[in-house]
Structure 1
Amino acid sequence: MPEWTIRAPAPGDVCALAALHVTVWRHAYRGLIEQPLLDRLDVDNSTTRWRATVSGVDAGASENRVLIAVVDVEPVGIVEVGPGRDADAPYPLEVLSLNVAPRWHGRGVAQDLMARAVGDAPSYLWVLRGNDRAIGFYRKLGFDLDGAERYDDSWRCFDQRMRRPAAPA
């Protein structure tokens, strides 16, 4: 049995989710995104974003789904999925974000979050070019790079699209 539980976030989780998000980004994207951009990440801004996301989902104002992995009372992972945002979306479901605390990498948290949020549904996601750890993880779940790329002006980086027609049997 895992050491964590998976559940929907509550309003009281928002500050911890924001701190988790900033920590994960600063760790995962070091050397891939310009350091001054990572240094500008701010827990207060992230709190505003996650508060809006969680309240929108709770109120039914968003079609997205958010799940968190919690150990004791501490969120250690978060996943958000929703309708594909791209005009050429290969599938209706997009994995919008998946973040797991670095100390929980390799322990099954991310797989559990993805299994609960995506299941075996056809889906796609965008991953930062050069993020070999993430690309390898998603490949283990049956996702493959499909050749599509986009430039993210705000982060000054390229993203690559990965997709999975359905979960591997």
Structure 2
Amino acid sequence: MDWTIRPPAPADAESLATLHVAVWRHAYRGLIEQPLLDQLDVARSTQRWETTIARLRSGDLGHTVLAAYVDDQPVGIVEVGPATDERPPQPVEIRSLNVAPRWHGRGVAQDLMAQAVGDADAYLWVLRGNERAIGFYRKLGFALDGTERYDDTWRCYDQRMQRPGQSAG
């Protein structure tokens, strides 16, 4: 089965929220405290997506959001934009990439990344211990750079990965 990739529409907010909560509960089980994952709320996430989509459509967001859809249901989403760190190692930051577990290994994540960031110089933060994600990003040319930060909200450590794009070579 194929998917299509496009910016999310206002009608997609609830289904994106449902996807986001499900992906986090699956991917971060055992890496983030379970009570924190249990607090994830589709209604609250829907409000966030409604705001994000409205800002995206108005041109006010300042970054790219793309979702992969199968039969009009989202199976993956990526957010990419200008670096937000004080001293970023690269100009582009991959802010999030979430793919439904049943779509892992089928090319959805690669397709989302290709369309959102291409081969640009970029960096991202990945949860320490999330070996599946680290392995995926390594296949795309990213490498851990030794920088870590503590996330007070999720009570965990993130590790930075970066990739010099074609322009660096």
What TM-score, normalized to structure 2?
0.97
Cα deviation for residue 93 of structure 1 reads 0.6
The answer to whether residue 52 in structure 2 is matched with residue 50 in structure 1 is no
In structure 1, what is the Cα distance between the partners aligned to 2:130 and 2:36? 17
- After superposing on structure 2, the runs of 4+ consecutive aligned residues of structure 1 that deviate more than 3 Å are none
Cα deviation for residue 50 of structure 1 reads 1.1
In structure 1, what is the Cα distance between the partners aligned to 2:123 and 2:31? 21
In structure 1, what is the Cα distance between the partners aligned to 2:87 and 2:129? 23
Please list every run of 5 or more consecutive structure 1 residues that lacks an aligned counterpart in the other structure: none
In structure 2, what is the Cα distance between the partners aligned to 1:147 and 1:44? 36
One-letter amino acid matched to 1:47: T
The 3-state SS of whatever aligns with 2:62 is coil
CA displacement 1:103-133 (0-9 Å, x = unmatched):
1000000000000000011000000000000
The 3-state SS of whatever aligns with 1:155 is coil
In structure 1, what is the Cα distance between the partners aligned to 2:47 and 2:91? 27
Alpha-carbon RMSD across the aligned residues, in angstroms, is: 1.3
In structure 2, what is the Cα distance between the partners aligned to 1:67 and 1:8? 4
What TM-score, normalized to structure 1?
0.97
The answer to whether residue 61 in structure 2 is matched with residue 62 in structure 1 is yes
One-letter amino acid matched to 1:37: L
One-letter amino acid matched to 1:12: A
Please list every run of 5 or more consecutive structure 2 residues that lacks an aligned counterpart in the other structure: none
- What pairs up with 1:3-152 in 2 under 5 angstroms? 3-152=2-151
The 3-state SS of whatever aligns with 2:61 is coil
In structure 2, what is the Cα distance between the partners aligned to 1:51 and 1:93? 24
Cα deviation for residue 51 of structure 1 reads 1.2
Q: Percent identity?
A: 69
